[in-house]
Amino acid sequence: MPAIDFFRRKSQNLSTVIESVYGLRINDEADKALAVASQNFSELAGFTLGEILAMEAGAYLEEIKKLHFTQSYLEQVVKFLLETTEILTQLQREADALNLSEKALYLLKHLIQTDKTYSPERENFVALLEEKIKNK
């Protein structure tokens, strides 16, 4: 039970951060949004943004598996990565945005393989990310 409560609190914190950076991003405050996201990456996504960007996608997936995140929490991490991708795109950091997109794709595919529940939302995200990565 304590592990469930721990991830529930972390998930709530992550949701709050995602909402905050989204709000800043849509208000054309991408620099502030990236600063808020960067401050929270280590605690909420397991690694700093710089560490994540430096890892290969497969290695990042393997490291994330070691953290034993719940399926729902891992899905939140994917949303955090995707929101940060949007911020990086807004800041014209296309290479970093593509890098995070690849990592989000690996995590989504892992979720699809390991979760017993079918999610059309995940399938749509995978298709969109694959198309985005293919076209870059």
- For the chain, the structural domain boundaries read 2-134
Average pLDDT, integer, range 8-33 = 88
With a pLDDT cut of 70, the percent of the chain lying above it is 94
**pLDDT tier at 2, thresholds 50, 70, 90:** low
Best CA proximity match to 71, nearest among 18, 125, 122: 122
The three-state (H, E, C) secondary structure of 52-83, written as one string: HHHCCHHHHHHHHHHCCCCHHHHHHHHHHHHH
The span from the CA of 34 to the CA of 23, in Å, is: 12
pTM: 0.88
**Residue partners of 38: CB distance under 8 A and separation at least 6:** 48, 49
**pLDDT tier at 107, thresholds 50, 70, 90:** very high
